[in-house]
Chain A
Amino acid sequence: MSFFRPILAIARKDLLLLLRDRINFFFTFFFPMIIGLFFGVIFAGGGSLPTIRVGVVDLDGSPASRAMAADLAATDGLSVQLIDAGGAPPDPAAAAARVRRGELAAVITLPKGFGAGMKSMLRGRGLAIEGVIDPTRKAQAGLLAGKLNELAFRQLSRVFEDPAQSREMIEGARADLRADREVDPVTRAAVEVLFSAIDGLARTNARRAGAARAGGAGNGFRPVEVQLKEVAADDRGPPHSFAITFPQAAVWGLLGCCVAFAVSLVQERSRGTLIRLLTAPVGRTQVMLAKALACFATAVTVQLLMMAIMAARVSPQSWTLLAVAVLCGAAAFTGIMMLLAVISKTEGGSAGVGRGALLLLAMFGGGSIPLQFMPDWMQAASSVSPFKWAILAMEGAIWRGYGASEMLLPCGVLLGFGAAGFGLGARVFRRTATSV
């Protein structure tokens, strides 16, 4: 009889048993798929911040405050609700209570005199905007303050674009200056000149703004113009969240596969079927190789399945290197499976120790939190985890732009894990798999 025939028969039987074991099948194939899709979809937005729900209380009701509220409503990232008290003046305190209840992230109040303040800006009385924000949203508070400053500048630019408003603002400021007896003549003359210059500039701006509007262009006066474009840090960044989450999903599949086959070998021993195999004209080496073959085939299959799903969104930079990474990962976890199978003599013990130890290594190795988000010390410590190297090898082929020489380290480490695990496991298995 051929040396390989019983190996194939045992491996085929083990694969059939895996397919019929719903729990192990779920944790080997479906659970990783869910992990990959769930986190992949969550992070698919490229890290954009969620919308901030903001209430606006307009106590002024002036054209300027209404324009400010409209600009806020048109701002990306804000979901603005104008607080309306049904004809009565809106109550800022009632609006703040909605923040306390978590219905709104923040409330912005445009107080009475907001519009007038716009026109008295050159007289030292600036715009007043009040607000309350949920203290758990500190990062969004900064963003909101920045948006409010930007929009206040926009209101100011509108004043300068409107000849009547700008003239009213400058004349008001001139009147205040002339009425102030404490200002010395030289300073007064200099400020008068400045006002004249601003007036001239405002007229020019108003003309330009009118011409631009007629020509379909944007606003004429902008104190600051900021344009931000999204540019990738370099061309080696992950092209899609799936490029991160599906290598992670694949290692969760390896974990499930590894535990399932380790437990199956323990079951063979505890249920007596190992005796049946060993009394057949089949050597221990063949039994071990068959188990390893079934585990290896499953490990390759689960990784390929994850990569196939990922490929719907991400095309790996090198299919060849990805295939190498997949084979090395499968070899590593086949060896680890052999080691797990001899750690405990009971199915519960093997499953418990296997899941516990591998879960810890998976979390440490980037199975839960991507490696690049870990602190430096944890990244260094994660080198003891085969999951790290399996992820690194896959990512190397998918988006890190690894060449063959760069793949040597992760693949070499994986093969080392596999050889050590298989060697040690096989040695113990040979010694212990003997009694009826």
Chain B
Amino acid sequence: MLVLTDIRKSFGATVAVDGLSLRVGRGEVFGLLGPNGAGKSTTISIAIGLLPPDSGTVTLEGLGDPRHAAARRHIGVAPQALAIYDDLSAAENLLFIGRMYGIGHRALRGRVADLLELVGLTDRARDRAGTFSGGMKRRLNLAAAIVHEPPLVLLDEPTAGVDPQSRNNLLELVRTLRARGCTVLYTTHYMEEAQRLCDRVAIIDRGRVLAVGTVDELIARHGGRSVLTVTTDSGERRIETDDPLRELAGLMPGGGIANMRIDRPDLESVFLHLTGRLLRD
């Protein structure tokens, strides 16, 4: 669906994207996971044709060049900044965006009502967006990205700064989009979101893709071993192992285990192994 090949982009002496290549398959939720400043937003800007790359190519399979308006009609974007008008109501925001795509008045009314229902804002349809909580604004931001029912949706940090409940709502919305057949490119620096949501994930740092695969593949390849921690009468033991259950079973006959914990590798471990740094650094 979306193919980026050897993309490079610099701003003065700063290299934002450094030879980035990836392929997003039709109907999948693809995660771009990396810390702030890794080049995720620049990659999104290039993917939707807003920024020209210094080199490399962007291909929207079957849709054409994203720099052309005709191709952009098939893309929906929810920028990291809340791209909504505070002084317009929720419904007015969506109606305005719909008009930008030339959707007919009657069809647009029905679609806006459906979208407000989908993002749980029907009760607040006539209220100005400026009066909304952060989570509600994020949901409206996402609704504005899909008002024209695009087959490809790019979500740039869609859960930034929202409470856990709103985050769950937003993740559920992304699952709904996948169920409807949308392809989603999802950038985040929260590994839990990528783990819960994404079919495949690209670990990105300093403008480069470090690894690509399903969450399980990445963990298996780069996550390292599980850590079994047991507390006995003689103190606490920390054991790195590929099979923590078998290791635990081996310890059971000796008895005296007061407490135990298994830390399996996750995407945080993957990032740590690949970069020597934590995602939050």
Contact = CB atoms under 8 A, between A and B. Distances in A.
Interface stretch (B80-88, B111-119, B271-279): B80-88
A138 interface: no
A427 interface: no
A276 B77 contact: yes
B70 A435 contact: no
A90 interface: no
Contacts of A282: 69, 100
Most buried by A among B80, B100, B144: B100
B72 interface: yes
Contacts of A13: 85, 88, 96
A92 B92 CA distance: 76
Interface string A253-266: 00000000000000
B87 A273 contact: no
Interface in B148-198: 148, 156
Contacts of B269: none
A434 B82 contact: no
A6 interface: yes
A334 B148 CA distance: 32
A279 B84 contact: no
A6 B100 contact: yes
Interface residues of B, number: 34
Interface in A235-280: 270-273, 275-280
B69 A281 contact: yes
Contact of B97 (A270, A280, A435): A280
Interface stretch (A15-23, A35-43, A318-326, A348-356): A15-23
A91 B223 CA distance: 107
B85 A17 contact: yes
Nearest to B148: A280
A231 interface: no
B79 A436 contact: yes
Given A13-B96, A276-B144, A281-B73, A435 B51 contact: yes
A131 interface: no
B79 to A, nearest CB: 4
Interface of A: 1-2, 5-6, 9-10, 13, 16-17, 20-21, 270-273, 275-283, 434-436
Interface of B: 41-42, 44-45, 48-52, 69-70, 72-73, 75, 77, 79-85, 87-88, 92, 96-97, 99-102, 144, 148, 156
